[in-house]
Structure 1
């Protein structure tokens, strides 16, 4: 009988600049009886093998018996003759120079002296081990408390009497299935999207219940005693999504007597994980600290209602040739000779042609598409087209939209560079936090300091502006406000690939004339698409944007089979990449763009870090740094973080800071660096690390170093991009897929993350996990 007993604990250390020897674990081997195998004998051969991590430089063991005889073995097999009654101590060491957690398997194989190691019937003992190499930073950033999921609030039955009414005629199950499976046409357009929107809403209702809270306390706001503050773990990562104007329902946990009083609280402000709520005077005036409440979250139906209305208006205004263009109404037009505001565009044939087509209205009433892969300047193309329209057509009125506030802000900032500021107006929703609005846009928007909120101007005021910039959802306010159909001669939608089709229709139906108006869609179907909750809605086409549907299903927007070119009357694909070094662009170009992208980035900018001393390969400014970290969570927050990856990021940041201005490298500002992470908690921990590490915290303007999600970086670029993939456990990949977060199983998110860098891309992640994804494996 053989006993293998671990002695001692795993020891931790930090590799720092050199290699670290970690005394990992002790094993005590003792043979107290012969091994029960056919040929019994008094001696046994023990074979020791380590199955080590790919990131461990070396691993070895010292084996010593009671007579003091020592054996030394490396990861190859070590054979020791083992007699009955003998015992050995096995001392296992790691030799490594990486941060992270390093699992290993120690394999003990026992056989008789007559059977050599590797025999067909060995007796085996396997023991798992792990070493951890970390710094004080990892200890500082580690979990402050063990993760404990929020408990689901038990349903409280309320005494009610329900009297059923007369329901309308319903679709049969067969009709519903047929509606979902049949091709999308104008005749079934509003029926199909009403159904898909309802499916999405049902899933949203189900998902939001997962975040209901039980036995939570609130505090009174120090700045406004009329508001109560509730701590909501995960709200900063939109899990759950809570915006200004949303409502929550709370009931005292101790209430048992029917009927239970439920208080509705309206969100006044969201600050990281603190939500400030306005309740009735009855609750506020009787509020006692430490009172426990059960909290129920609700979805915001306003965007859904606008989408339902939009698809109805699309049918009402007969927008067939806009949504399902046939090209039958296209007129032959002469291309105007244009003098570009941005002179650089004159040397780009694709951008120049797209602007000419938009200004001439060549595709009307069909939409004109600008297919803009990363770094090709699609937003600049749209802005130039708007400037040209404003110059050549005094009667034009332009509505410029995007799905997100950040993309809409970028449009506005670039328009203000060439257009009369008095002609441009940025319309914000009342839910937009003032702190997130760029300072240079405050005097061009609907912020009212006297009311401390965003207010909606009158119809007459809005119609006086030549260009209005807003999000697609907020564009619904223009329809509600009575802006007449045809007032806007042109509607531009940037980043249109990120919006579900009914969301795009909000900015079109009821505003754009179906025959005389010009719709321009710009985006990239290979980058981030719409975010949906319902698997059924995604399965039946809700996850495909209007831009992607047209390019996928409509012959006008597809390449011809003979020459492989797009029809320039309807679509232009921008080909010149002005952003990235060829090494950074190579993989995305091959995977997503048929190798058509051309490197036109400024040579000095793109080769700035080709000779950086910390590159594994000189002249190749792309680093993948493998880290075997751990997926961790803390407290009640569902968001993940990985401190081992943060240590590596901090190490590279420190190297970049120390080498700037030396050996031909330029001076570096923190605003030239971006760090992308898929989880809000990782973003938060990285930001904390920048303040904790003394050298980095003293770097001038360190607060301008942006740390954010992939969504926050779409449409942006930095000289240096670092990516933290976080995920180190295959068990959580399915969760990422369900919640549409993380990098695995989402090639569009991968594409965006990998194409933000101009001169240096550093990716930090677990190669074992990432290699399981076909995109990362490539």
Structure 2
């Protein structure tokens, strides 16, 4: 039996009596009723709030959240006003309390604490007693706590709960924290006529999806409702090909069908990125003439995936009479420059005019792949795809002179290089694999250099899965350029590369970057209480609070400790956070610092590595089922991330989330032991504090349960009309 509350598989009957399960059960019940507490609209009682800081001021908010930005150490005071809005009903104030006061929120002493005598507030009267909550914190982060107002309608015997959430963003500079609304409407974009573009080259598509297979691929290899016998036979053939796997006989059929399936899925998914009600900025381009800048959230992480030359339809939002063809002229992060419109478009454009957008995939990459598959036999390359066993194993020739002395001294790396250069695998590829940080990239670079040294006519193409990885391999090869003639390699300008040897004992390892402690070690953790964000339903998250902490460390490293920008690397698991950090560093003139995902840093090292973990969907009022780390729990990514630093690794994250995983918990605890833990510490919030929170919300949940029970019906007297009994309602009539 699985426990859905605690998200634990196969639990015993005793689990449901444990303190952990009971805590999660109450927190889950609280979460389920939270919106009702916040959105009380009966009109009997009202609660408003006034708060201000050096950044801004707020007078209540409709969604029940009172958001305010403040500087570190700044004191913020929330002033609450309570009013009886009824014209005839008397309400009594049972109690006013914070659900928890764990994050530096302190309430003033007042007459409405739990256990005190309730006070009555007459109709159309305002409470004169002051109710305030004071907050201050030295640490950057997002702090929040709910405040509960418990009322009793004396005339109807109803209980009323009103909740407000106080949210304080502690930050050095004010950032907008408004929820990001996705422009992707998933609505059909169509019009009665299309103004064609004169700049789109019309050509005949090749290797198109067969008409008979379209429906099958669209339904992901399942029969549609209107399928006939031919569809059944065709589906059976396709499934048989995929079930068999790739063979020499079915290679061409296998990959043609696989590419057609992929194309169909891409087309279907691309409809999810139809945009509705967006604006565009007119922009004159030196290369492309009159263009329009279109903000496309998620473009940087290839959601949607656009390429220069792709076509799109642009329709005025107000009507469906016509729309325009356009072409993607340039792409810069999350902005696409589009042009090639029909001359009629200028008559309908305006800075505030709203448009709908539909994207179309480019078939060029797919056509090239189809062509490559189709040409395998024509160019006689089957032997490379399906190599035979190399029975004439050539002898391994020992190498006496190595370019990298570290490879020469490592038996496994040396063996790999000698076998690659000797060609022991024949026509088959030589596979080199190993855990992160074991020197695979160094070994490949040594093999490349030895192959060129062995035969100057060798021409080697190095392919990687990212531009950053390709740059890394190229810069490693450039180090040995003085040993070869210039004709062997194309190198970057030396103005942008500065190579030197690092001492084995790097002093930066023992320096506290923030200056909070007299000494430090090579591993650091900085806790930040924050919340992850994402655009719409994008799977890529970002965290603006962690961006500010990253910026803080970078400033200290460069300005105080004189660390070169090219010696700092920033790693984060999400591409959206990559762009957020790049933007924040560019704003302060540090755009030369490399920022990339974990995959981009595979095989790469830096003197200082800063890791932004991003995921932070946790707070003290969430039950365990709500805690999610995504692929932060992946062992390989964890290993790659923390092994990229030569001298110091600094990890930034929310410990409330990270400590749910054993790997991160071990790292965080080690930093505590070494005295290299900074920022918000989850250690202050132990099980005893959690019990206090549960004890605080339990009475409310008990009253809710009692109030929602249906009263027993009384027997009606003969000859009398049924009396209308009023059922007690904890939340009021919503």
Is the shorter-chain TM-score for this pair beyond 0.5, marking a shared fold?
A: yes
Instruction: State the shift of 1:346 in Å.
Output: 1.5
Aligned mates of 2:551, 2:210 — CA distance in 1? 63
Kept after mapping to 2: 8 A contact 1:630/1:728: yes
Shift of 1:351: 1.6
The corresponding residue for 2:181 is: 147
CA distance in 2, matches of 1:214, 1:26: 40
Q: CA deviation at 1:240?
A: 2.5
- Give the structure, 1 or 2, with the largest relative contact order (CA under 8 Å, sep 6 or more): 2
In 1: Cα distance, 2:503 partner to 2:347 partner = 62
Normalised to the residue count of structure 2, the TM-score between the two structures is 0.61
Aligned residue among 517, 521, 524 for 1:622: 524
Q: Deviations over 1:606-626 (max 9, x none)?
A: 862465544699435221423
Look up the match of 2:571: 676
Query: 1:396 Cα deviation (Å)?
Result: 3.6
Contact 1:104–1:129 (Cα < 8 Å) also in 2: yes
Q: Quick one: which of 57, 62, 67 aligns to 2:108?
A: 62
Partner SS state of residue 462, structure 2:
strand
Task: Kindly report which structure 2 residues correspond to 1:284-683, keeping only aligned pairs within 5 A, or say none.
Answer: 289-290=349-350, 294-314=356-376, 323=385, 327=389, 329=391, 331-394=393-456, 396-416=458-478, 417-418=480-481, 420=484, 422-424=486-488, 439=493, 603-605=504-506, 608-609=509-510, 613-614=515-516, 618-629=520-531, 631=533, 641-657=542-558, 659-660=560-561, 667-677=562-572, 682-683=577-578
Summarize the Cα distance change of 1:207–1:367 in structure 2 as closer, same or farther, 3 Å threshold.
same
Aligned to 2:591: 703
Query: SS where residue 368 of structure 2 aligns?
Result: helix
Aligned residues: 546
CA deviation vs aligned residue, 1:630-659 (integer Å, no higher than 9, x gap) = 52669x999764332233223333443454
Tell me: CA distance 1:379–1:657, structure 2 relative to 1, closer, same or farther (3 Å). closer
Change (3 A) 1:421 1:407: farther
CA distance in 2, matches of 1:48, 1:166: 66
- SS of corresponding position for 2:110: strand
Deviations 1:255-290 (A, max 9, x none): 856xx675353x44323444344527x539977753
Separation of aligned partners in 1, 2:380 and 2:578: 46
Cα deviations across residues 751-775 of structure 1 (Å, max 9, x unaligned)? Answer: 4433332222223233344456676
- How many angstroms does 1:132 deviate by? 0.6
Residue of 134, 140, 143 corresponding to 1:93:
134
Closer/same/farther in 2, CA of residues 608 and 676 from structure 1, 3 Å limit: same
CA shift, 1:175, in A, is 3.5
Contact 2:293-2:335 within 8 A present in 1 as well: yes
Aligned to 2:8: none
The alpha-carbon deviation at position 10 of structure 1 amounts to 5.1
* Residue number in structure 1 paired with 2:606: 718
User: What CA distance in whole angstroms lies between the structure 2 residues aligned with 1:158 and 1:133?
Assistant: 49
**Which of 631, 652, 655 is residue 764 of structure 1 equivalent to?**
652
CA contact (8 A) 2:541 2:577 kept: yes
| SS of residue in 2 equivalent to 1:230 | strand
1:98/1:254 CA distance change after superposition, 3 Å? closer
Shift of 1:137: 1.4
Name the counterpart of 2:343. Answer: 283
Gap regions ≥5 residues in structure 1: 33-42, 66-70, 72-77, 112-122, 427-436, 443-600, 661-666, 732-740
Supply the distance in 1 between the matched residues of 2:316 and 2:510 (Cα, whole angstroms): 59
Q: CA deviation at 1:245?
A: 3.5
Q: Name the CA distance, whole Å, in 1 between partners of 2:443 and 2:410.
A: 10
Point out the more displaced range, 101-110 or 350-359: 101-110
Shift, 1:128, TM fit: 4.6
| Contact 2:445–2:476 (CA under 8 A) maintained in structure 1 | yes
SS at match of 2:173: helix
Provide the secondary structure at the position in 1 that maps to 2:509.
coil
Tell me how far apart the structure 2 counterparts of residues 277 and 772 of structure 1 sit (CA, whole Å).
Answer: 46
The separation in 1 between residues aligned to 2:188 and 2:506, in whole angstroms, is: 58
Residue 629 of structure 1 contacts residue 728 of structure 1 at CA under 8 Å; is this kept in 2? yes
How much has 1:320 moved relative to structure 2?
7.0
SS of the equivalent of 2:463 reads strand
Shift of 1:303: 2.6
Q: More deviation in 637-646 or 667-676?
A: 637-646
Q: Which moved more, 1:284-293 or 1:751-760?
A: 284-293
Q: Answer yes or no: is the 8 Å Cα contact 2:439–2:603 preserved in 1.
A: no
Would you say the 8 A contact 1:186–1:324 is kept in 2? yes
What SS does structure 2 have at the residue aligned with 1:81?
coil
1:510-559 alpha-carbon deviations (Å, 9 max, x no partner)? xxxxxxxxxxxxxxxxxxxxxxxxxxxxxxxxxxxxxxxxxxxxxxxxxx
TM-aligned CA deviation for residue 403 of structure 1: 3.3
Deviations 1:2-29 (A, max 9, x none): x986442455577766x55543454769
Structure 2 CA distance for aligned equivalents of residues 284 and 678 of structure 1: 45
**1:297/1:383 CA distance change after superposition, 3 Å:** same
Q: CA deviation at 1:777?
A: 5.9
Map Cα deviations across residues 103-151 of structure 1 (whole Å, 9 max, x no partner).
224468999xxxxxxxxxxx89573532314235133x656x9635244
TM-score if structure 1 supplies the norm length? 0.58
Q: Is the 8 A contact 1:46 1:81 kept in 2?
A: yes
> C-alpha separation between the residues in 2 aligned to 1:29 and 1:262?
56
State the Cα deviation string for residues 306-354 of structure 1 (Å, max 9, x = none).
3334444556677677556674535151332331123332212222111
C-alpha separation in 2, matches of 1:25 and 1:233 = 41
Equivalent of residue 296 in structure 2, options 229, 233, 249: 233
Decide whether the 8 Å contact of 1:629 with 1:645 is kept in 2. Answer: no
Q: 1:221 to 1:136 in 2, by over 3 A?
A: same
Q: Aligned match of 1:129 in 140, 165, 188?
A: 165
Distance 1:146 1:337 in 2: 59
1:82 CA drift (Å) = 1.3
Q: What value does the CA root-mean-square deviation take over the aligned residues?
A: 5.1
Residue 271 (1) aligns with residue 332 (2)? yes
Kindly tell me: are residues 725 and 130 of structure 1, through their superposed partners in 2, closer, same or farther at Cα, counting changes over 3 Å? farther
CA contact (8 A) 1:269 1:275 kept: yes
